[in-house]
Amino acid sequence: MHITLKVWRQKNQQDRGHFETYQLDQVNEDMSFLEMFDVLNDQLIREGKDPVAFDHDCREGICGMCSMYINGRPHGPLKGTTTCQLHMRHFKDGDTIVVEPWRAAAFPVIKDLVVDRSAFDRIMQAGGFISVNTGSAPDANAIPVEKDKADAAFAAAACIGCGACVAACKNSSAMLFVSAKIAQLALLPQGQPERKTRVLNMIAQMDKEGFGSCSNIGSCEAECPKEIPITFIAKANREYLQAMLAPDLPE
């Protein structure tokens, strides 16, 4: 396969950045998208040029580190698939592929296709946890959890924190990411004690980090590589409304 790649190159955060065009002649259809970039980088290094920096680690679709915006879509055209699991057989010989980094004010570009997603960690620090110290937990079977709720909590917890939802959203909103964590913990009995403060704090932090608000457009759900449903955003909205209208203690 012959592929023309238009790749965003940006030296560092201050650099304005630009596109470079590369020709790849020997792309194999069984290659993954990232393996194609390995081949490109190999070629660039041999030519004495700077290889393209991109984030990746597990290459099996679970660590959430890979993050390419491919032909206008986060993680490319295939539904429910991360960039590392996207294979070249989904492209045609002679295709031109445009690759950009995630773009959002809250995800500044570090270099080329590498962006800083530490905002997600800070949102988690704002409340994405249950405050329980090691050693003090009751027996795991002491509190039964309805299977349906446990399954729903798992579906929310399947989020890999890659940021595709932000990259896809017109508003660069992180609501799908934030709501998945809020929903997971709100569905479980263990998450009840901090339920109200959690939703308020996490959403406040999301705002502080510079993510937009949700307009229920649905791009996030369509592009999420783990297919986290947008219904969790509605769930988080309800949690927010409850926390705001019915605080537990008089202020």
Partner 1 sequence: MELDAKIPQGTLSDKWKHYKDTVKLVSPANKRRLDLIIVGTGLAGASAAASLAELGYHVKVFCFQDSPRRAHSIAAQGGINAAKNYQNDGDSVFRLFYDTIKGGDYRSREANVYRLAEVSTAIIDHCVALGVPFAREYGGLLANRSFGGVQVQRTFYAAGQTGQQLLLGAYSAMQRQVALGNVEVFARHEMMDLVIIDGKARGIIARNLVTGELERHGAHAVLLASGGYGNVFYLSTNAMGSNVTAAWKAHKRGAYFANPCFTQIHPTCIPVSGDYQSKLTLMSESLRNDGRVWVPKKKDDPRKPTEIPEDERDYFLERRYPAFGNLVPRDVASRAAKERCDAGFGVGPSKMAVYLDFRSAMERYGHAEAHRLGIADASEAKILELGKQIIAEKYGNLFEMYERITGENPYETPMRIYPAVHYTMGGLWVDYELMTTIPGLYALGECNFSDHGANRLGASALMQGLADGFFVIPYTIGNYLADEIRTPKISTDHPAFAEAEHRVKEQIDRLMSIQGKETVDYFHRHLGKIMWDKCGMSRNAQGLQEAISEIRALREEFWKNVRIPGTADSLNPELEKAGRVADFLELAELICIDALHRNESCGAHFREEYQTPDGEALRDDEHFAYVAAWEYRDGKEYTLHQEPLHFEVVHPTQRSYK
Partner 2 sequence: MKWRQLFISPVGRKIVMAFTGLFLILFLVVHVTINACIFLNDHGKTFNAVAHFMGTNILIHFLEIGLFVGFILHIIQGWMIWASNSKKRPVKYAVWGASANSHWYSRSMGLLGTLIFIFLVIHLANFWVPNRYHYITQGEELNLFERMKLIFSSPIIVLIYLGGLVSLSYHLMHGFQSAFRTFGMNSKRYIPIVRGIGIAFAIIVPVLFALMPILVYLKVIS
150 binds, among partner 1, partner 2, none (CB under 5 to 8 A by kind): partner 1
The DSSP-derived string for 147-208 is HHHHHHHHHHHT-----HHHHH-TT-B-HHHHHHHHHHHHHSGGGGGGHHHHHHHHHHHHHH
- In the complex, the residues that contact partner 2 under the rule CB under 8 A are 6, 8, 17, 19, 69, 71-73, 77, 98, 100, 103-106, 109, 168, 170-173, 175, 200, 203-204, 206-207, 210-219, 222-223, 230-241, 243-244, 247, 251
Q: Which residues, 121 to 140, sit near partner 1 by CB under 8 A?
A: 121, 124-126, 128-140
* Contact criterion met (CB below 8 Å) for 24 and 3: yes
The one-letter amino acid code at 137 reads A
Q: Which residues, 184 to 243, sit near partner 1 by CB under 8 A?
A: 184-185, 188, 190-191
49 near partner 1, judged by CB under 8 A: yes
Estimate to the nearest angstrom the gap between the alpha carbon of 79 and the chain centroid: 14
72 binds, among partner 2, partner 1, none (CB under 5 to 8 A by kind): partner 2
Instruction: State the nearest-atom distance from the C-beta of 11 to partner 2, in Å.
Output: 15
Please identify which residue in 7, 34, 202, 224 interacts with partner 1, judged by CB under 8 A: 34
Name which of 87 and 196 has its Cβ closer to partner 1.
87
Which residues, 6+ apart, have CB-to-CB distance to 142 below 8 Å? Answer: none
106 binds, among partner 2, partner 1, none (CB under 5 to 8 A by kind): partner 2
CA angle 68, 73, 79 (to 5 degrees): 100
Query: Helix, strand, coil: what percent of the chain each, to 5?
Result: 40, 15, 50
